A = this chain, B = another copy of it.
Amino acid sequence: MPTTEALSAETADASRFDGNLTELEYLALASSFNLADGHARQELTPGQSKVVGELPGLWAEAVMRPVDEIEEEAHRAFFHLLGQKSYPGADGRVLACYSSSVAMEIFARALVAETDTIALVHPTFDNIPDILRGVGLRLVALEEDVLHGGDLPAELLAEVGAIFVTTPNNPTGKVLSRERLARLAAQCAETGVVLALDTCFRGFDVAGQYDHYEVLEASGCRWVVIEDTGKLWPTLELKIGWLVRSANVGLPLAKVYSDILLGVSPLIMLMIKGLAEDAADGGLADLHEFIATNRALVRANLDGIPGLTFVDPDSRVSVERIHLGERLAMDVWEKLRAHNVYLLPCAKFHWANPSEGDHMLRIALSRSPVSLDVATRALRDVLLGE
């Protein structure tokens, strides 16, 4: 992984840390109290352990069977688990990538062949704006209340070649409803704007599990969806980011894909299939309960601290935001670091206006309850000035 020294040597002003969220996450990787990144780091359940124990057998299966067959079984198990019965699995419109960020990079590179401007939900995880800007796109901020409030302004649609929405959003947990998606897709169909969705966190929230593909296909709009297995299960970074598209999308997605990869591992595909089957068999409900219990633990440990509020009361995703009142997130972050506890200050999520996040921290919930308990007690002590 990159060291802080290597990263700060690349910035113009090495005297202050001005890194992105992922760079803050690198710092946390070696800590036992890493509540920074949104990856799943809790213990495997017995059902998941069984799949991991079968890896040598899955390897033998992957060697014997045609890879296209394995690939189809994997995406069918995963997409159906999340209610996506209408996804276009049969005709090569589902591209398996090493991760959702690789899918994002491929989408961005294909999109910039056609347009130079994209509207992006605000706030959202900062590697999305960074990848889009990195390929040369200009970004227009789409505030969450505008996105969820009703039809988008005609001027916005006229200004951009694409709209990018993370749903459920990271860090807010806000979900695009079926009704809003249908209207958004209709507006995109009318104007020829590409509608891109990042649904990486939808596994945590049944509100995000209605059949998006049915809505998108019915609209006739040009669309792209990025699905992700990476946030759900503690699979040591073994994951698949799926890049799915409409038949009419008109972007060179398969071409850019072919520049980057031949395919993801059939071993990972079989593992994902096994985990999706376990999830369908009760594991997903257990996961929802696990996250809800962890969220309740965090809220209980931080209860009654003057000035502290929980920003997203209805969120179901595996992260929780807190507002620190007058306190600055970076000050709290520094103090927690001395206790070897890592959270994520929220400024960078507000990619168009970082100061909006200056007083918020994000806490990852996909952790063992013990480390979550110890870390949030340390946070409580810091906030109470002990």
Asked whether any CB of chain B lies closer than 8 Å to the CB of A175, the reply is: no
Q: How long is the Cα–Cα vector from A201 to B268 in the complex, in angstroms?
A: 24
Beta-carbon contact of A258 and B52 below 8 Å: no
Task: From B1, B55, B127, give the contact of A56 (CB < 8 A).
Answer: B55
- A356 near B: Cβ within 8 Å? no
Is A221 in contact with chain B by the CB < 8 A criterion? Answer: no
**Interface residue? A362 (CB, 8 A):** no
Mark interface residues in A95-124 (1 if CB within 8 Å of B CB, else 0). 110110110010001000000000000000
Q: Which A294-344 residues sit within 8 Å CB-CB of chain B?
A: none
Give the complex CA separation of A260 and B262 in angstroms: 18
Cβ of A37 under 8 Å from chain B: yes
Closest to A56 in B: B53
CB atoms of A10 and B56 under 8 A apart: no
User: Are B95 and A258 within 8 A (Cβ)?
Assistant: no
A20-28, A146-154, A202-210, A375-383 - the one binding chain B: A20-28
- Known contacts A68-B30, A236-B62: does B260 contact A101 (CB below 8 Å)? yes
Contact A267 B1 (CB under 8 A): no
Q: Are B66 and A55 in contact (CB under 8 A)?
A: no
Q: A29-B67, A236-B63 are in contact. Are A1 and B131 (CB under 8 A)?
A: no
Chain B residues with CB under 8 A of A67:
1, 29-30
* With contact pairs A68-B1, A91-B6, A238-B267 given, residues A102 and B56 touching in the complex (Cβ less than 8 Å): no
Cβ of A130: which chain B residues have Cβ within 8 Å of it?
259
Contact B62 A52 (CB under 8 A): no
**Please, how many angstroms separate the alpha-carbon atoms of A2 and B258 in the complex?**
8
A258 touches B134 (CB 8 A): no
* Cα separation A37 to B266 with both chains bound (whole Å): 16
| Residues of A261-308 whose CB lies within 8 A of B | 261-268
Contact B71 A1, beta carbon cutoff 8 Å: yes
Residues of B near A268 (CB, < 8 A) are 238
Known contacts A99-B98, A102-B98, A237-B264; is-contact A10 B63 (Cβ 8 Å): no
A124 CB → nearest B CB, Å: 14
The residue in chain B whose Cβ has the minimal distance to the Cβ of A41 is B63
Distance of A3 from chain B, by nearest CB (Å) = 3
Chain B interface: which of A176-184, A212-220, A249-257? Answer: A249-257
Beyond A1-B67, A237-B263, 18 additional pairs, beta carbon < 8 A: A2-B254, A3-B91, A5-B91, A7-B254, A7-B258, A19-B258, A22-B259, A29-B68, A29-B262, A29-B263, A30-B68, A59-B236, A63-B236, A98-B99, A131-B259, A134-B259, A236-B265, A238-B268
Cβ contacts A to B, 14 pairs, < 8 Å: A1-B68, A1-B71, A2-B257, A10-B252, A10-B255, A22-B262, A56-B56, A59-B236, A98-B102, A127-B258, A134-B259, A236-B266, A238-B265, A238-B267
